[in-house]
Amino acid sequence: MNFFERQDVARRNSRLLMVLFVLATACIVLAMDLAVITIWYGSQFFYDSSMLAMPWWLHALVIGATAALILGVSLRKSIEMLAGGGVAVARMMDARQVIPLKANPMERRLLNVVHEMAIASGTRVPLVYVMDQHGGINSFAAGYDGQLCVIVVTRGALERLNRDEIQAVIAHEFSHIVNGDMALNMRMVGVLAGLVFIGGAGAHLLRVAMEEAHGDFRAILFLMASGATLFCIGYIGLFFAQAIKAMIARERAFLADAGSVQFTRNPEGLAGALDQVRHLHSFVLHLHSEDVSHLFFAEAVYLDEERVLSTHPPLGERIARLVPLFGGEAYRSRRSDPYAELQRAAESAASPMGSLPQSARIALETRVGCGGLLVALMLSKEGSALANELAALRAAGFDNFATSSAPLAPHVGVLPVAWHLPLADLALAHLRAEPEEYRRELVRALETLLATEHPVSLYRFAYLAFVRAQLAPDAVAKSGNRSIAALREDVVLLLSLVAHAGCARSDTAAGDFARAFASGAKEMELRAPLDPVRREGCDPVATAKAIERLRDLGPFAKARLVKGLAAAVTADGSIRVVEAALLRMVGAVLDCPLPPAFEELNPATLAA
């Protein structure tokens, strides 16, 4: 399946999740009502022989209160997850964000690997967190989309895995991001919280009763009876929660393993990481481990991995699918030691990041540098144009960005256009957690730069739309379901924008635009009459709003849109670098990751 088909499957699984949630809630409500009925008639049997029938209003009260409690807890947790994204999950698990300036050698290795996998997968660079208190080998990715996405690893994974192994684990997490698993997983965290709440409340009452062992006997007996009853009823919710997670999460683990191999081209790396888990352990002893157990790379809660309700497939089966003849002992005897690797040459020089100018690598280590880098990517290389742009920034009150970007502009300007999006990703990864006031100020500085250009460059406009969507989104579509026809005007505007980008020669511009637009419209199945938008009509503000609305398209509608845009780009039989970069930028704004494929193109067809 492709990205959009997997999103559609995830959406169907979301509906299945809600059906099972309703069924589980009904079972818990029924069990609670039966418990109250038992208490009602049992108390009369021992203390009163009248045996009065239980009134209907008490049934209604028990049923209504239990259902309201479950729904309320699930709704509250869902809202909390929606507002905080992956950052909320990382904080819930007491994870610590890795700050580049404060990172130790192992954490710098982790950051390098995350950056490399972001480039390989064509997705946003997530925030990186470490769970310092946990020595097991595990990790997870969480978030609704690229805006608040995080990757969290345990201290055990950081210390016990060598570079190939941790790269494979991180690639596994990026596969979850690319496959659209994260949003479904986050919904599961919220929805399932209500199902396990009653059991958790019962367990809490039992602990209180044990702690009050020398208190009033009748009070302790009441607490123990109430706690045991709630715990037994709550086990129904726990059973359903584990069954739901097992049904949905197990197959996604196999899919993410395959994605990891696709990104790294190294199946033995992932098999080795799984072997290290098998040789050591992956358990995470935390209050909320059960709540997020389906997010993890391997089993986080202590269970026999062969159990039907395990959230992950058996380790042996996962390894066999990757490397059928994998020998654990032989692999462990020849694998690189993580500490020995760190004592060798600095990894940054050996990674793809080493090809960046030193000034850019240094800039990525600070907030000021990252802001300056994002501005520098939009500046002219040198000369009077650069001077005028810097003067415009200072005149608009953005002297800070002018000062930080000016020395970077000559170095960044010589980079291939294909590197602009990955480099912007790296800078954005550090800035998403900054205060909203700073992020919006940076967007306004870029808007000031765009206003200095006449006519507006399509590439610069797409770059601004991309940065704005990451730092100051007006609206974030979480689960769109609209069609191409419903957003026809916005689709035509965006298609016109991309078709204009392919018009490199003024003498053939009209014909080139017509062919590109017609090709895209045919692929999108847009019906006549169509009214393409002239280049000067592609207003930056209007187009930005159109792209924002297009994020609400359904998965298959997004697929048609992206295929149509790609058809427009390739209508003349070649792909210019600026066209490919523009398409990737638009894909990034629409939350449709488009991995870079420049190495697969014929260099003769690439033009600046």
pLDDT in tens, 524-556: 988 888 889 887 777 767 777 888 788 888 777
Active centre residues (catalytic): 173
- Overall size of the chain counted in residues: 608
Asked if 465 and 545 touch (Cβ cutoff 8 Å), the reply is no
| AA identity, residue 339 | Y
Q: What is the pLDDT of residue 13?
A: 65
**Tens of pLDDT along 435-450?**
889 999 999 999 899 8
Q: Is 220 exposed, middle or buried (0-12, 13-18, 19+ CB in 10 A)?
A: middle
Closest by Cα among 348, 374, 471 to 427 = 374
* Mean pLDDT for the stretch of residues 383-403: 92
Q: Which residue has the higher pLDDT, 443 or 146?
A: 443
Strands (E), 332-387: none
Do 294 and 251 form a contact (C-beta atoms < 8 A)?
no
Q: Mapping DSSP to helix (H, G, I), strand (E, B) and coil, where does residue 98 land? A: coil
Cα distances (angstroms) measured from residue 16 to each of 2, 11, 35, 236, 247 = 21, 9, 29, 18, 10
pLDDT of residue 157: 95
Given pLDDT bands bounded at 50, 70 and 90, which one contains residue 227? Answer: confident
Which one-letter DSSP state was computed for residue 297? S
- For the record, the structure tokens of 601 come out as 């193109």
Of 260, 272, 370, nearest to 326 (Cα)?
Answer: 272
Whole-number pLDDT of residue 110: 93
Give Cα 560 distance to the centre of its chain.
23
Cβ neighbours of residue 564 closer than 8 Å, sequence gap 6 or more = 491, 495, 520, 521, 522, 523, 524, 526
Nearest C-alpha neighbor of 171 from the set 188, 157, 198, 151:
151
- Under the banding of pLDDT at 50, 70 and 90, the label for residue 602 is very low
- Which residue has better confidence, 331 or 544? 331
Cβ-Cβ contacts under 8 Å for 38 (sequence gap 6 or more): none
Is residue 350 scored above 80 in pLDDT?
no
- pLDDT (0 to 100) of residue 298: 93
Residue 51 contacts residue 41 (beta carbons within 8 Å): yes
Mind spelling out the 3-state secondary structure of 421-472? HHHHHHHHHHHCCCCHHHHHHHHHHHHHHHHCCCCCCHHHHHHHHHHHHHHC
**Strand, coil or helix: what is 127?**
strand
Indicate if the alpha-carbon torsion angle 300, 301, 306, 312 is positive or negative.
negative
pLDDT band, very low/low/confident/very high, at 214 (cuts 50, 70, 90): low
How far is it, in rounded angstroms, from Cα 390 to Cα 554?
41
* Alpha-carbon gap, residue 498 to 567, rounded angstroms: 10
pLDDT at 604 exceeding the cut of 60 = no
Residue 265 has pLDDT above 50, yes or no: yes
CA of residue 2 relative to chain centroid, distance = 17
Minimum mean pLDDT range among 291-300, 343-352, 557-566: 343-352
CA atoms within 13 A on the CB side of 132: 7
Residue 86 has pLDDT above 60, yes or no: yes
The torsion angle over the Cα atoms of residues 254, 258, 264 and 269, rounded to 10 degrees, is: 50
Are residues 512 and 430 in contact, defined by beta-carbon separation less than 8 angstroms? no
Q: In what order do the strands lie in the sheet with 150-154?
A: 96-97, 127-131, 150-154, 139-142
Site of tokens 């792909």:
575
Torsion over CA: 42, 43, 47, 52 (sign): negative
Which is higher by pLDDT, 381 or 515? 515
CA 9 to chain centroid: 17
Does residue 66 surpass a pLDDT of 70?
yes
Res 102 pLDDT > 60: yes
Q: Is the alpha carbon torsion for 204, 206, 211, 214 positive or negative?
A: positive
pTM of the predicted model over 0.85: no
Smallest Cα–Cα separation from 596: which of 587, 604, 574? 587
Q: What pLDDT is recorded for position 136?
A: 94
Helix or strand or coil: residue 357? Answer: coil
Q: How far apart are CA 541 and CA 535, in angstroms?
A: 14
Mean pLDDT, residues 296-325 taken together: 82
C-alpha Rg value of the chain to the nearest Å: 28
CA-wise closest residue to 429 among 353, 351, 345? 353
Angstrom distance (rounded) from CA 205 to CA 167? 44
Q: Count Cα atoms within 13 angstroms, Cβ side, for 175.
A: 22
Q: Name the token pair of 585.
A: 């930028």
Residue range 403-417, pLDDT digits in tens: 999 999 888 877 777
Whether residue 400 has pLDDT greater than 90: yes
For residue 591, the number of C-alpha atoms closer than 13 Å in the C-beta half-sphere is: 32
Q: What are phi and psi of 183, to 5 degrees?
A: -60, -45
Q: Which of 162-176, 557-571, 586-600 has the lowest mean pLDDT?
A: 586-600
| Domain definitions of the chain by residue range | 1-355, 356-450, 485-605
Residue type, 436: E
CA atoms of 196 and 574, how far apart (whole Å):
56
Query: Is there a contact between 129 and 97 (Cβ–Cβ < 8 Å)?
Result: yes
Which residues are 139's β-sheet partners? 153
Evaluate whether 470 touches 147 at the Cβ level (below 8 Å): yes
Task: Examine the pLDDT at 137 and tell me if it is beyond 80.
Answer: yes
Non-local (6+) Cβ contacts of 510 within 8 A are: none
From the number of C-beta atoms within 10 Å of its C-beta (0-12, 13-18, 19+), residue 327 rates as: exposed
Q: Would you state the pLDDT for residue 158?
A: 94
How high is the pLDDT of residue 567? 87
